[in-house]
A and B are shown apart, each in its own frame.
Chain A
Amino acid sequence: MKLSETKVDQIGVQERVARLQSRSIKADSKKEALTLALSMIDLTTLEGRDSPNKVRQLCYKATHLHESFPGLPHVAAICVYAPMIRTAKEALQGSTVKVAAVATAFPSGMTSLETKLDEVKQAAQDGADEIDMVISRGRFLSGDFDYVAEEINRVKEACGSAHLKVILETGELVTLDNVRTASDIAMAAGADFIKTSTGKIQPAATPEVTLVMMQAIKDFYHKNGRKVGLKPAGGISKSKQAIQYLVMLRETLGQDWLNPDLFRFGASSLANDILMQVVKQNTGIYQSASYFSLD
């Protein structure tokens, strides 16, 4: 594969982001955005110390965000390490909350393709609805785009019917030109979603990176007619940020993308901040954080 020809101007992207962030979202449009954002969350726990009970608690939270406030949506998915898939599937039985599993030697991706494929196949077999893979950043930065594309392609095959999210780990790609190139490679190789980050590298999701990925998705859609989803992940913990991402989404990809099938937030603490805002919007009072469950 040859280098992407699409250029990105960093200053221009920063200015566009600043302008989008100056949108003022009030009243009902704010309530709608908060509810929408809740329904787009991939509630995430990706720690070495994760246990089945911790995952079960998270799954209960996924469908019972704030019991004292009826009518709220559930989150889009639970995002866990592969060994937790069966536990999560069981806990979420009967709901439409998806189970997403990170795979391919997450977060570094430093293992052989064969090992990665085995891991992905096992995850699919265990019932993961979605698989979040990482690209080989070292290969990408050394210019071996063919390898990166081939790897994604093979993982996509191994996913079977599971949806594939491709994590670019933009914090390691550094430039927006690289982000654009990696996005183009991932989509062409079959990604259902492209995702900014593992959350393990700083910076994780930034509005600038996300905007560039949105523009890549838009161009890909115009060229190929396929709608690829987007998942900014890591560092989005406040309602205000979430609303700014939705503004960017609405004005870049349009209403078609404003749903959990095509847009997700990878986050762990975002849900509670949104819940706090939802309650405030409806009662006029900020509740203390103690009123929101920490699962």
Chain B
Amino acid sequence: MWFERIGAAVGAGVEAPRGWMRIALALASLKFTLANILVLLAAVVFVYDRGGEGEATLALVLPLSLLSINLLAAMATNKAFRRQLPLLVFHLALLAIIVLVALGRMTYLRATAEVLTGGEFTHLDRIEAGPWHRGGKDGIRFENLGFQIEYRPGLRREATQNRIRWRDEGGVPQTVEIGDQVPLIIKGYRFYTSPNKGFAALFRWEPAQGEAQLGSVIFPSYPLNRDDQTTNWHLQGESVTVRLVLPDRLINPESNDSFRLPGRHHVTLDFPWRLSSMSPGETLPLPGGRLTYVGLTSWMGYNVFYDWTMPWLLIACTLAVLALAWHFLRKFASKPWSAGEGEA
């Protein structure tokens, strides 16, 4: 049946095609399109069921490939299809979207980063990247100058404003404010402030021999983990449990308030052989050196995203929807919407 329809469309009569043309026509069939859409539906449900992460997304490769082949075969064999410019543009835009999504999956990067206030970005954590990702993340430099977060009663987070200093491609220092809907974009890498932020203890270790070192211990996100500001640290090969002891209501949950460093606080260090409490400026003699608790600072967590295909995807999507609207407009203009009124 579809042979006849396509044959009629190309003006070639109803004679059955042969060889590769027969295969091409089968691949161009609209019924094949319907079957592929159903396979795509099943694949989407499968990927969703698997959480949408990792190798599960490979299930989309089959239906998207089949739909691409179907479309290319239709363009190659169906003159009527090629003559309908809006429909052709729509489907070509869909093809472009499929190609761009595939390229995006091969080259993307998603990660997180934590940067101390007053400190520089040094590295990414929890990196998830496509196999072809080659970006220039090693050359990224920026400094977290501090942030401000307002809270409404019930610890409802409001605006996040994070000041950042970075150098542009000409090496000129730039200061920007990012947060909420506004990322920092360097070399295509987009840094978004995340709900993850908290406190970090700064320590100076002065070994009996050698140079003093300044280091930081990052506590869990605050106020999400306000009842458990504990983390593990390794000092000179020893495991130390460090706990930050804060006032009960650093951020008042019953009124408007903001994220801030505590005025009074201390940290406890649980060594295998003793438990010590330290306030800012205090020094603790230890085997092999002296440990000084310098003070508390804050850190901001960032979600990092890289996908060079995004602007092209937006263009392809916009083109697709405009072409589809153009197609329907032309199609419906041939017969008024109110035609046939009163027919029964």
Same complex? no
Which residues on B are within 8 Å of A, measured CB to CB? none
Which residues on A are within 8 Å of B, measured CB to CB? none
